[in-house]
Chain A
Amino acid sequence: GRCYLYMKTIERAAFPRRLWERVLLNKNYEKALEEIDENLIYWPRFIRHKCKQRFTKITQYLIRIRKLTLKRQRKLVPLRRKIERRENRREEKALVAAQLDSAIEKELLERLKQDTYGDIYNFPIHAFDKALQQQDAESESDSEAEGEEDDEEEEDVAKREFVEAEDSELSDFEDMDKLETSSEEEQEEEEEVEKKASHSKSKGKTPLKGPARRKRPYIEIEYEEETEPSTKSKAA
């Protein structure tokens, strides 16, 4: 970043090669200004002034360049339109092929079947029965052993949830609470039916929409309304 002072005179206008006369300026800013002054000594005042102004600007931007190179520099990577378009299209097709909702639902049901949730939900009874039916005596004993382990976990889990339900009267999970409390009272089919009715009724806003809003829930509601008065009269 050294600066030179270039001068031209009309006498040398005929010789383009020798037209510009070059003088290396000092590194020091003030001394360089003095050098400009003494080199351009017989030049008009305005031109000298403008030259010094230009020199000032040049030194300032040279300083800035040096500072910036020390900092992190942003590397600009150009986007390639064709490639961007291709990737977007492939992404859309991959999204369609992925069928995310059903994949997630399948995975969750798998986990439910494999008892990763312990006994938070009272469905495992049915799964348990099915498992018993399908397997032999030997594997029945195995599953019983697992069932014992699950029972221990169930107790812990059930205890934990029971306590929470007592503590948090107004929790966000109204559904979950209703599920828990109802599951802890009795485990009859009527109870399940009533629970389903209550929790489908309590969802006034029907927060579960989209894939969850299928025709079956509506049919269930109708059925349960018929039977509900009888169960209510029982409770009362």
Chain B
Amino acid sequence: AREGSRPVPGDGAGPPAPERVLFPPTFSVSEIKNKQRRHFMFLRWKQQQRKEKLALKKKRKKEREALGDKAPPKAIPKTIENQRVYDETTVDPNDEEVAFDEATDEFAPYFNRQTVPKILITTSDRPRGRTVRFCEQLATVIPNSHVYYRRGLALKRIIPQCIARDFTDLIVINEDRKIPNGLVLSHLPDGPTAHFRMSSVRLRKEIKRKGKEPTEHVPEVILNNFTTRLGHSIGRMFAALFPHDPQFIGRQVATFHNQRDYIFFRFHRYIFKSEKKVGIQELGPRFTLKLRSLQKGTFDSKFGEYEWIHKRREMDTSRRKFHL
């Protein structure tokens, strides 16, 4: 039964929507059997909703202006970061236990400046062009790193050789269908191994408005947003890749920024134009990582002791819970 106040929806566009459409109280848009008409009525309903929302906003704005100084402060919009489920393992900067742990874990020799990082970068078998180029660029970004091709060698046999030759870290870039998609970062003398999923890899030539090549200077390192214990240990892993004393003349900075469990890597050159302004120019590859697992010892997929594995069913249930 159609009410007189509602104009008949004709074919296609129909008459323009009136200012106010009165729907009978028991009417619901989804009950119309005809798809065209139903779609039309739904659009009209949506328009109405939008109008009401706009009117509400305007009213609120007017009220704010009318009140002037007495207006209540603006409400902070809710973001995912605001609503994040509080993680119990968040690191407090003054936490003694954490400080003690850090003084005695595997990175202590690095942070006490006893060891100089030396890094081996390799790929999975038969790397394709993109992966090879990415490895080379990564080697220019990380100082004191060497790229070796893996010709079918087992990782378990490479690792003792690396330790013998004084390497401190091993990076394996896994490849799938000619693009790099995984990263295994292993701290060598018996250190933790982290397995990441790598996505959106951009080589230097694909970056717009990039600068010249990264030079040989030691870059600075920025680690953002690694708050939990797990995040802290991963952050230290990344920091251990770079030598301790950055050369400020080089004005290069490597950034690992963690946002919602995604770690974004960027490499920039900065210049201070004034004390309040800095310009940055991106050079070097960029990629994002997502932690999949963290293992206590060196790379061992079967018998290793896993400190943390990403379990999809348990950990991906809440949109506001992050682990790094």
Contacts and interface: CB of A to CB of B under 8 A. Distances in A.
Interface stretch (A11-19, A44-52, A57-65, A106-114): A106-114
B278 interface: yes
B44 interface: no
Interface stretch (B19-27, B104-112, B256-264): B256-264
Contacts of A1: none
Contacts of A196: 273
Interface stretch (B92-100, B163-171, B246-254): B246-254
B162 to A, nearest CB: 17
Given A91-B200, A207-B211, A212-B280, A98 B259 contact: yes
A211 interface: yes
Q: Label chain A's interface by main secondary structure.
A: helix
B264 A107 contact: no
Interface stretch (A132-140, A142-150, A171-179): A171-179
Contacts of B248: 117-118, 120
A27 interface: no
B257 A100 contact: yes
Contact of A123 (B253, B274, B280, B312): B274
B32 interface: no
Given A90-B262, A91-B200, A91-B262, A209 B281 contact: yes
Nearest to A83: B312
Nearest to B208: A210
B272 A123 contact: yes
A172 B215 CA distance: 9
Given A100-B264, A120-B248, A209 B278 contact: no
A97 B260 contact: yes
A164 B249 contact: yes
Interface in B262-281: 262, 264, 266, 268, 270-281
Q: Label chain B's interface by main secondary structure.
A: strand
Nearest to B272: A121
Interface string A5-31: 000000000000000000000000000
Given A117-B248, A123-B275, A208-B279, A95 B259 contact: yes
A226 B110 CA distance: 54
A72 interface: yes
B281 A94 contact: no
B78 interface: no
A104 B200 contact: no
B288 A91 contact: yes
A175 B262 CA distance: 35
Contact of A94 (B255, B260, B278): B260
Interface string A209-227: 1111000110000000000
B199 interface: yes
A104 B281 contact: no
Residue of A126, A175, A207 ringed by the most chain B CB atoms within 10 A? A207
Nearest to B222: A107
A164 B264 CA distance: 34
A175 B248 CA distance: 14
Nearest to B268: A104
A108 B278 contact: yes
Contacts of A109: 275-276, 278
B209 interface: yes
B6 interface: no
Interface string B69-91: 00000000001110000000000
B155 to A, nearest CB: 8
Given A120-B248, A123-B275, A126-B275, A212 B255 contact: no
Contacts of B28: none
A217 B288 CA distance: 33
Given A107-B224, A211-B280, A94 B211 contact: no
Interface string B276-304: 11111110000010100000000000000
B50 interface: no
B211 to A, nearest CB: 6
B271 A175 contact: yes
Contacts of B224: 103, 107
B212 interface: yes
A207 B262 contact: no
B67 interface: no
Given A88-B199, A90-B260, A176 B279 contact: no
B66 interface: no
A108 B268 CA distance: 11
A172 B152 CA distance: 41
A111 B272 CA distance: 12
Contacts of A83: 312
A210 B255 CA distance: 18
B154 interface: yes
Given A108-B278, A123-B274, A208-B271, A172 B212 contact: yes
10 contacts: A91-B200, A97-B81, A98-B264, A103-B257, A104-B253, A104-B255, A109-B278, A172-B212, A196-B273, A211-B279
Q: Closest 7 CB pairs between A and B? A: A212-B279, A123-B275, A98-B259, A94-B260, A94-B259, A94-B262, A209-B209
